[in-house]
Amino acid sequence: MLRKPLLLAARSRACRTVVERTPLTRAMVDRFVAGEALPDALAAVEEVTRDRLVTLDFLGEDTSDLAQAEATVTAYEDLLAALGEAGLADRAEVSVKLSAVGQFLGSDGERIALDNARRIAEAAKAVGTTVTLDMEDHTTTDSTLGILRELRQDFPFVGAVLQAYLRRTEADCRDLSGAGSRVRLCKGAYDEPESVAYRDKHEVDRAYVRALRILMEGDGYPMVASHDPRMIAIAGRLAADNGRSADDHEYQMLYGIRDEEQKRLAAEGKRMRVYIPYGTEWYGYYMRRLAERPANMLFFARSLLTR
Ligand code: FDA
């Protein structure tokens, strides 16, 4: 019931102002976001990479300003250089939202996003790590996959997220299940219409398993991005059925969610990667985390009422 209004609020400037000005928001955000600046992110990477791998997201999305897109690219270049200097690049990669690097900047947006993503991929290559393109709402899927294809010609290590709730995703999994292809499969976090997406939770779960089966049966590198114990158990069985070793697939969860389970899977010898967001543009990311779990919202509401 709360999911739709929260996802609408995630894109509302007015709601953003209210949420950002609420004093207690900060403490809530800290659960999901590693901090605002590069040193905060590096501290989280140091801590998490003791037993897990990480992917870092410099927060930002829907950029309508060329200078902001440029600043985002610079932030990723600085981050990657810092990971290299700290000797962490073998355990840390980056995740990029193309809308943060210019995808929506008018008719030139796709070209700008491609050029900017190339710069980030170049910086990743220089320190020996990888880049994964996040997937945003369904209106961007074709554009994002088109940019992925272009990027992979020069940077074959670039991977992408596919969202199981989209009806098209099984076909996209088939296209992207070849050797060298890295696909992060998630359920999907946006409010999508019935015409393009499954909206019932059980239907989404079934779609996730079908998509996962295609990826596990293929020759690529599946990245199982879910906190759902059933999906994780099924992924383990599909990996074993397809003769995959612990090194040729991995599990991924978000920073601040099911931390003990992350550690348990890593201790079992599984490749476990944590998605760590940082930066000042946390609003949209934070609202999607509230929308995913009503308990997060109730906790937030209670803290507002008891101020
Ligand atoms: P589900 O929502 O069914 O949750 C299963 C269980 O996990 C819950 O019962 C609860 O215990 C726990 N849980 C899940 N969400 C929680 C939360 N917010 N707070 C506390 N507990 C929670 N989406 C997208 O559209 N584009 C993208 O690029 C990405 N990228 C991405 C990367 C990675 C590494 C992950 C793990 C996820 C994403 N997502 C994403 C988000 C994804 O689409 C999805 O919304 C969430 O992962 C929740 O789905 P689950 O598979 O965890 O299942």
ipTM, 2 dp: 0.97
Give residue 197's pLDDT: 98
Both tokens of 232, joined, read 């994780």
| Ligand 1 mean position, distance from CA 235 (Å) | 15
- Report helix angle 25-32 to 294-305, nearest 10: 150
Q: Is residue 185 within 8 Å of 208, Cβ to Cβ?
A: yes
- List the residue whose alpha carbon is closest to atom 19 of ligand 1: 293
Q: What is the mean pLDDT of the chain?
A: 94
* pLDDT digits 0-9 by tens, 3-19: 888 898 888 888 888 88
Judged against a pLDDT cut of 90, whether residue 20 lies above it is answered with no
pLDDT band at 181 (very low <50, low <70, confident <90, very high): very high
Residue 293 — φ and ψ, nearest 5°? -140, 105
Give residue 294's pLDDT: 67
Both tokens of 88, joined, read 């962490």
CB distance 163 to ligand 1 below 6 Å: yes
DSSP 8-class letter at 106? G
Q: Is residue 133 within 8 Å of 162, Cβ to Cβ?
A: no
CB distance 105 to ligand 1 below 6 Å: no
* Closest among 193, 200, 205 to 234, alpha carbons compared: 205
| Ligand 1 mean position, distance from CA 85 (Å) | 31
Q: Which atom of ligand 1 is nearest to the CA of 223?
A: 34
Q: Which among 52, 57, 134, 289 is annotated as catalytic? A: 134
| Ligand 1 mean position, distance from CA 202 (Å) | 15
* pLDDT digits 0-9 by tens, 87-113: 999 999 999 999 999 999 999 999 999
* pLDDT digits 0-9 by tens, 244-301: 999 999 999 999 999 999 999 999 999 999 999 999 999 999 999 989 986 777 666 6
pLDDT band at 304 (very low <50, low <70, confident <90, very high): low
User: Residues with Cβ < 8 Å from 35, sequence gap 6 or more?
Assistant: 41, 43, 44, 278
CB distance 187 to ligand 1 below 6 Å: yes
> Average pLDDT for residues 194-205, to the nearest whole number?
97
The CATH architecture of the domain made up of 34-281 is: Alpha-Beta Barrel (3.20)
- List the residue whose alpha carbon is closest to atom 14 of ligand 1: 227
> Average pLDDT for residues 136-144, to the nearest whole number?
97
| Ligand 1 mean position, distance from CA 154 (Å) | 31
Give residue 9's pLDDT: 87
Residue 134 among the catalytic residues: yes
Judged against a pLDDT cut of 90, whether residue 199 lies above it is answered with yes
* pLDDT digits 0-9 by tens, 43-101: 999 999 999 999 999 999 999 999 999 999 999 999 999 999 999 999 999 999 999 99
Give residue 307's pLDDT: 46
DSSP 8-class letter at 200? S
Q: Which atom of ligand 1 is nearest to the CA of 231?
A: 51
Length of the chain: 307
Q: Which among 184, 273, 288, 289 is annotated as catalytic? A: 184
| Ligand 1 mean position, distance from CA 164 (Å) | 12
d(CA 173, CA 168): 9
**Spans of all domains in the chain:** 34-281
